[in-house]
Structure 1
Amino acid sequence: MALFDKFEKLAQDRAALVQSGLNPFGTRIDEIFSPTEGRIGDFKVVLAGTNNYLGLTFDPESIKAAQLSLKHEGTGTTGSRMANGSYGSHMALEAELADFFQRRSAMVFSTGYLANLGVIGTLAGPGDLVLLDADCHASIYDACKLGGPEIIRFRHNDAADLERRMLRLGERARDVIIIVEGIYSMLGDQAPLKEIVDVKRRLGGYLLVDEAHSVGVLGAHGRGLAEELGVEADVDIVLGTFSKSLGAIGGFAVSHHPEMDLLRYASRPYIFTASPSPSSIASVRASLKTMRARPELREHLWSNARQLYKGLADLGYRLGPQASPVIPVMLGSPQEGVAFWQTLIEHGVYVNLVLPPASPGGQALVRCSVSAAHTPEQIDRIIRAFDELRPIFPAAVAGNQG
């Protein structure tokens, strides 16, 4: 078999979509006007697929901090954290993250993906056992493959299934690694973290929570689902990213375990990857400060999320199980999904298109992500665009209107 023959089915599927005149791959956003508006080709659009939950990508203080860092520290470190890539600003951010999460220590990575690879892929090695929610992010699955532990999946958001599987393990359950997410990126639903913590308290194990989509979104201080539900003391490691609520790029892990510092000397994705650019670190530090000082951003975010969720539900669309800043709209075949997504752009709204196998249930979906920077008028505009698509795509709402 030739080197690229394994991708033949993928190539055929992609070609079929392109030949139809619709090409959803590698969408080019030609101009960005603000956190919530941009231009795609000839269409000025409301950006409703950015993960920019607090709208901080254009925050003046974050931009100013990044500009000053560029001037004084240059464009990059040109080295890994273990070589020449740890600047004072990297260590200052780690201290600030540890303080924010009320944990002993923090590690900063170049991306959220690498944070999962670097922590999970190092902690979970041969002979270890990982129990993970079936809907966990691809980076978590890749991290497990990197480390080589035994992997057992439990049903999505099913603490009872987790308990059954742990009971079968007997004494081994005391040392398992349990991995869940705060808010899941496809359906926008939250982990039943209280119930999972209850299982952990009774049967043992270590609990890792990826709060990538819930930092800045949930909790009285924005620390995520664990804070929202009052179970932070039972979470051994919190993982996350700077590319959502903090509006930049990078990843982190925080923990109260003193042994976490040893990962700096054992985690290959940490040791052998160039560290984040100083300007990105500077903007994250400024955004973190803003997030802590302005809880009204989170309140506005949730007001927008509830407004959009209700508006789309009232139109008859099939949505995720609960109101959330992540709002999926379930569609049909991949071809219908692509056509719906393209037509939505033509009606002035950009969202994310998700196709199988990334989408659950084998059906396409379009994924809206709400921002605190959206105005109520922009949310209404998004709802109107979905309303205008109902007669064009009647199957999208068929049988769902009460």
Structure 2
Amino acid sequence: MDLLAKLEGLAERHARMKALGGDAVGAVMERLLSPTRAIIEGRETILAGTNNYMGITFDAECIAAGQKALAEFGTGTTGSRIANGSYALHKELEQEFARFLDRRHCIIFSTGYQANLGMMSGLAGPRDTIYLDADSHSSIYDGCTLSGAKLVRFRHNDAADLDKRLSRSEEDGGGKLVVLEGIYSMMGDRAPLADFVEVKKKHGFQLLVDEAHSFGVLGPHGRGLADEAGLEDEVDFVVGTFSKSVGAIGGFGAGNHPYFELLRFAMRPYMFTASSSPASIATSIAAIRKLAAEPQRRRRLADNSARLFSGFKALGLELGCDEASPVVAVRCPDEPSTIAMWNALLKAGVYVNIALPPGTPNKMCLLRCSVSAAHTDADLDRIIELFGAVVAQGHGKKVANG
């Protein structure tokens, strides 16, 4: 049997998508003009689906830092840190992140995906149980699988359901890890952290928060949801990525446990993956310092998020959650209408993400926008105007409430 025959259904689905217009999962940015502008299909397009929350990817100081590291350290490390040793830049970035996060220890990874693979599989093992929010990112699920731990899912953002499942669990001598996200990547909603902390006090598990979409975004210091909620002491471990607010590539895990550094020798994704390139590490160092020194970026992002959220609500669009967030998801009734609306928006001059089952909660079809601190008021008003025009043209008649 042909090993790839199982992909026939995917091929047919992709063909149907392309038959409705452009390739919504294969759009090419021919040239980047700024954090919020690109040339796509020969047209200047507003970027509203890049997760470039701080708009830092074209920052002159970050670019200069990367160029300097490229010249001094070369193009790559050619191996893992366990095998080849660490560069001074790797240790410097870990120290910068630990300082920013106000944690004693930090380990950096080559990607955010590997950060979740490594942290889940390093913290939990076959004798342990991971309690996981049902809407968690795929990288978290994959890390749980790699760990070999027992996996128990609880209803999304439902601390009472977690409490019930913990109360029913049998004591088997293993550890218990509960995993939440600061901002959930598809719908843009936040975990009710205080509710989960109350459950933690009752049951005594260890708590990890994935701050991938909330790092740099939430809290008085920009450390994420736990910072915003004033509950950092109740969170045992944090994990996140460089590919959002930091504008680079990589990931991190951090904590205060005295054995935390030993995770380096227990995480296969860390041990057996080439370490991050010097240029990427150097740009991340410059970016994290900039985030610490420029809180106005967070304030601008919050204002921009509220502007887009309010504008979409005024259009009557059905949104993913009831509070403003840098992730603004528009719910659509079905796959064909979602694809049609995505194509119409792109032709009109705005790029957003298309999100379809099975990668979405409850099999929803979404058009997902991510707001940047670099967006101007004019950008956001134009995005709102184009969504309204596309709906009025009939591409998304069922998208608006009523």
TM-score normalised by the shorter chain: which range applies?
Answer: over 0.9
Maintained 8 Å contact 1:125/1:147: yes
Residues 344 and 395 of structure 2 are in contact (CA less than 8 Å); yes or no, is this contact kept in structure 1?
A: no
- Aligned equivalent of 1:69: 69
1:275 aligned residue: 275
Alpha-carbon distance, 1:123 to partner:
1.9
Query: Distance in 1 between the 2:173 and 2:164 partners?
Result: 11
Question: Residue 121 in 1 paired to residue 139 in 2?
Answer: no
Q: 1:26 to 1:85 in 2, by over 3 A?
A: farther
Cα RMSD between the aligned structures? Answer: 1.4
**Counterpart contact for 2:20–2:339, Cα < 8 Å:** no
Match of 2:79 in 1: 79
Q: C-alpha distance in 1, partners of 2:78/2:398?
A: 52
1:261 is the counterpart of 2:261:
yes
Give the deviation of 1:331 after TM superposition. 0.7
User: Would you say the 8 A contact 1:183–1:213 is kept in 2?
Assistant: yes
Q: What is the alpha-carbon distance in structure 2 between the residues aligned to residue 393 and residue 367 of structure 1?
A: 19
Report the Cα offset of residue 192 of structure 1. Answer: 0.7
Structure 2, unmatched stretches of 5+, are: none
Per-residue Cα deviation, 1:122-174 (whole angstroms, up to 9, x for no partner) = 22221211100000000000001111111110000000101000111154598
Aligned counterparts of 1:257 and 1:91: Cα–Cα separation in 2: 19
Instruction: Indicate the residue corresponding to 1:355 in structure 2.
Output: 356
CA contact (8 A) 1:22 1:339 kept: no
By how many angstroms is 1:336 displaced? 1.1
- SS of residue paired to 2:18: helix
Identity, in percent, stands at: 51
Deviation at 1:20, TM superposition (A): 3.4
State the partner residue of 1:99: 99
In structure 2, the residue matched to 1:89 is: 89
Deviations 1:29-70 (A, max 9, x none): 111100000111122111000100000001111011101111
Asked whether the 8 Å contact 1:183–1:211 carries over to 2, the reply is yes
CA positional deviation for 1:306: 0.2
What is the rounded CA distance, in whole Å, between the counterparts of 1:363 and 1:254 in structure 2?
A: 33
SS at match of 2:152: strand
Which secondary structure does the structure 1 equivalent of 2:83 belong to? Answer: coil
TM-fit CA distance, 1:82 = 0.7
1:222-371, aligned counterparts within 5 Å? 222-321=222-321, 322-371=323-372
Alignment CA distance shift 1:251-1:34 (3 Å): same
Write the letter of the residue equivalent to 1:37: R
Residue in 2 that maps onto 1:221 = 221
Structure 1 residues 126, 170: CA separation in 2 closer, same or farther (over 3 Å shift)? closer
Shift of 1:394: 6.2
SS at match of 1:30: strand
TM-score between the two structures when normalised by the length of structure 2:
0.97
> 1:377 matched to which residue of 2?
378
Distance 2:179 2:10 in 1: 30
CA distance in 2, matches of 1:15, 1:47: 25
Which residues in structure 2 correspond to 1:166-185 (within 5 Å)? 166-171=166-171, 175-185=175-185
User: Which structure 1 segments of 5+ residues have no match?
Assistant: none
Q: 1:20 to 1:252 in 2, by over 3 A?
A: same
Greater mean alpha carbon deviation, residues 283-292 or residues 85-94: 85-94
* TM superposition shift of 1:399: 6.3
1:263 deviates by 1.1
Aligned equivalents of 2:37 and 2:385: distance in 1? 16
Give how far 1:100 is off: 1.2
Counterpart contact for 1:89–1:282, Cα < 8 Å: yes
Taking structure 1 as the reference length, what is the TM-score of the superposition? Answer: 0.97
Structure-2 change in CA distance of 1:398 and 1:96 (3 Å): closer
SS of 2:93 mapped into structure 1:
helix
How far apart, CA to CA, are the structure 2 residues paired with 1:177 and 1:187? 24
